Amino acid sequence: MPRHFLSVKKLMLISLLTLNMAACQSSDSQDTQQNTQQAAPKVDVVSLIPQTVTIKTELPARTVAFRQAEVRPQVNGIIQNRLFEEGADVKAGQQLYQIDEAPFQAALQMAKAELARARANIQSTKARAERFRGLIDNKAISQQDYDDAQAAYLQAQAEVSVAQANIQTAEINLRYTKVNAPIDGRIGRSTMTEGALVTAQQESPLTTITQTDPIYVDISQASKEVLRLRRQLLSGRVSEEDTAQVKLTLEDGSTYQHQGELQFSEVNVNEDTGSLVMRAKFPNPDGLLLPGMYVKTEINEGTMPDAILVPHKAVMFSREGTASVMLVNDDNIVEQRPIAVRHSIGHKWLVSDGLSGGEKVVVEGLQKIAVDSAVEIEIDTENSLQQAQE
């Protein structure tokens, strides 16, 4: 067989093998693409819709009496009677204690006697001064005698005024033997009994009266949160509407039936705690709230237009505490986006930075996807505030 014929046959065989290999590779590539398309995981997403949100903040607080008066004696003496029942409600002006008034009655009588003596003395000094006025004109007496007579008369007038003031003081002290309630409220236990010696303005009170309807609630808020809110108010991101209403949650988790009203906020920040105290006033007709109770308050900080809410289950947190979400772009490719969350509203996070309206956030199927992978959207739900509160 000629050599050139064998060479042609070899060339033909090599060409056939090459074509078969290319066909196989093309078939494998198509199968791989089909398998890739078939293997694209299905995910559920929510489409973010900007909406107006009422921003509410939960803060710890303590109840404080609306009024509290420590009752102390204003004169020295022995307590003769206690005229109230411990734990009862008392009215302003109601007598609580009776201090022995005998020494003060005697002091009043003495002051009245001093006034009578001063008035008697003024008559003689006045007559003497008038006589000396006629004599001085005739040079029958010296100028010194006349001056002494006038001074004696003026001194007698002053003594009358002093005696009158002493009577007023004695009457006041006599009234102080009746220790009265300065305010309406509920009275506490008595620290003194009948027969005890008390002194004016003593350090320990006889008892304490507390008024709890209405009642104050002192709320502590971190100064950095106050600063953030004020910046948002100034920038227009938050509008200040109906921010005066406050809701209360009691220690047992129940909601207090009456709403309170924010009264004022302290001007100075506590240097030790870095917090600012705000005070709210609540009606307390049933006496359910007692001073010193720990409660939680919910305050309306304002409304935020164009707010973005993201379901809790869509947000991932790193060990450092940074938050992120998985997005699906227009090409159905997964992207990871870091975000800043503010606080929780219902079952959703309020996002302050990182997301905008119209973007699609993955909420189901997170365990099946990776960054830059292709996915298929199975359910696309619009995100709303009503869903957040359900």
Q: Is 114 helix (H, G, I), strand (E, B) or coil?
A: helix
Local confidence band at 234 (pLDDT 50, 70, 90 cut-offs): low
Q: pLDDT for 180-191, tens place per residue?
A: 999 999 999 999
Structure tokens at 365: 């199927």
Q: What Å distances lie between residue 33 and 26, 30, 38, 43, CA to CA? A: 11, 5, 8, 20
The average pLDDT across 39-51 equals 88
Residue 388 has pLDDT above 90, yes or no: no
The average pLDDT across 167-175 equals 94
Residue 197 has pLDDT above 90, yes or no: yes
Give percent of the chain with pLDDT exceeding 90.
44
- Average pLDDT for the chain: 82
Contact 183, 71 (CB under 8 A): no
Residue 101, Cβ neighbours under 10 Å: how many?
18
The Cα–Cα gap between 359 and 338 comes to 14
Domains and CATH numbers, the chain: 43-53+305-381 (2.40.420.20), 57-66+211-304 (2.40.30.170), 73-204 (2.40.50.100)
Residue 34 has pLDDT above 80, yes or no: no
Q: pLDDT for 247-285, tens place per residue?
A: 899 988 899 999 888 887 777 777 787 788 888 899 999
Q: What Å distances lie between residue 38 and 34, 41, 84, 190, 196, CA to CA? A: 6, 8, 87, 85, 95
pLDDT for 10 equals 55
**Contacts (Cβ under 8 Å, ≥6 apart) of 148:** none
Beta strand 42-47 with 197-198: parallel, antiparallel or unpaired? unpaired
Q: pLDDT for 120-160, tens place per residue?
A: 888 888 877 777 776 776 677 777 777 777 888 888 888 88
Highest mean pLDDT of the ranges 34-48, 226-240, 260-274, 294-308: 294-308
Q: Is 18 helix (H, G, I), strand (E, B) or coil?
A: helix
pLDDT for 151 equals 86
Q: What Å distances lie between residue 266 and 219, 220, 276, 282, 302, CA to CA? A: 10, 10, 6, 18, 19
Top pLDDT among 56 and 349 is at 349
The Cα–Cα gap between 26 and 22 comes to 6
